[in-house]
């Protein structure tokens, strides 16, 4: 999928209206990192689990996100 398609899917399905193709490109290049909500929306747009997009979780928050558990 092109970055524009990913950004559109995130906006349309998950309400992340601030996400643009430039955000997706920055994530791909590693210059920026999505927050927990953006990561969940990105995984949904790509039809995968957040854990598949993350490296090895190192914090409790990262473990919770990887398992799909609320961050709070």
Average pLDDT estimate for 27-42: 94
Please name which of 5, 59, 62, 58 lies closest in space to residue 39, comparing C-alpha atoms: 62
Q: Does residue 39 have a pLDDT over 90?
A: yes
Cβ neighbors of 8 (< 8 A, separation 6 or more) are none
Q: Classify 10 as helix, strand or coil.
A: helix
48/38 Cα distance (integer angstroms) = 14
What confidence tier does 52 reach under pLDDT thresholds 50, 70, 90? confident
Domains of the chain: 3-67 (1.10.260)
pLDDT band of residue 58 (cuts 50, 70, 90) is confident
- Residue where the block lists tokens 């990105």: 42
- What is the reported pLDDT for 42? 96
What is the pLDDT at residue 9? Answer: 96
């Amino acid at each position: 999928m092109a970055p524009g398609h990913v950004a559109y899917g995130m906006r349309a399905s998950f309400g992340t209206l601030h996400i643009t193709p430039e955000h997706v490109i920055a994530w791909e290049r590693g210059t920026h990192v999505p927050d927990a909500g953006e990561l969940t929306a990105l995984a949904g747009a790509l039809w995968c689990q957040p854990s598949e997009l993350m490296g090895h979780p190192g914090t409790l928050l990262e473990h919770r996100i990887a398992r799909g558990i609320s961050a709070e």
